[in-house]
Structure 1
């Protein structure tokens, strides 16, 4: 015990002596400690990101008068008796509303080339992108083969799991609306300290 106390006293004396010669050191160490504490406050945990994302989704659903359901409706479009849009919450976390099943609903074969036209909105209701005006080329995807490449080719720009899942319920000329959490959305919406959900109005046309 005495040896340990001696060592501690020796270290303290050495440190104090060094501090006297180098008065900047204590200030530097204090600055580092304060900076570290400040950085820790800015770090958002994964659980906090999920909570914030879910709050934004719930608010978006409430603001638009949507209903969340846990089973597939028998009628199309998926609306209740009062005309409110019903969104089926799937196991993946995707919220899906079918407007039109199109042709051969639910019979899409893997790797079918599908042209997608869409409007993307934030959970605040702002339109962030749209190619619905036909002046812009559609995005091309291969059913159940998700590519997250970001090269110059428009064939693979913006592909995500959320766009493929609705094709299990609709077919050629299908029309759906979805709310995609970051876990099934575009890769860049789950980067950094935030997870951003997005709303999509999607129209599918099979390549013939």
Structure 2
């Protein structure tokens, strides 16, 4: 689900926190010593190994492995290295444990938000060009239309035919079913 805040910025609901974004935070650290560099490299390696294990688990989810993933997560993110910036980042990510491990409860959730970000990219470009909306009603209308358009696109339905059908301008005898039905049939 795509949701806009009052500033017209988007967040993606019903998604796990993106592991790729978590790893990017590690990339931003600026080590001052070789030891700090080694600590960052080792942590990145642990994070990517954990991520790869989650990807494999998603292919054949096994509930009896979930406690092991939770323990392994805590080993990686609850540890202290002595490098203050890295320790703060690990603590920050550990506080987001439920989001990062949401996939263990719902294996269908992607480990990254690439699809969601791609869904809103065209709108963000349009918003930058036009300067956005003026009112709350304008933002709501824009968000609803964007959601309908992206849903139609993912279902392989022409957005314009969908709108025409809903406005009574569609082909008689060939109505487009409600999107909720089509989404349920597609999943």
Which of the five TM-score ranges fits, normalised by the shorter chain? under 0.3
Larger RCO, structures 1/2 (Cα 8 Å, 6+ apart): 2
TM-score, normalised via structure 1 length: 0.20
TM-score by length of 2: 0.22
Quick check: which has more Rg, 1 or 2? 1
Higher helix content, 1 or 2: 2
**Structure whose residues are more often strand by fraction:** 1
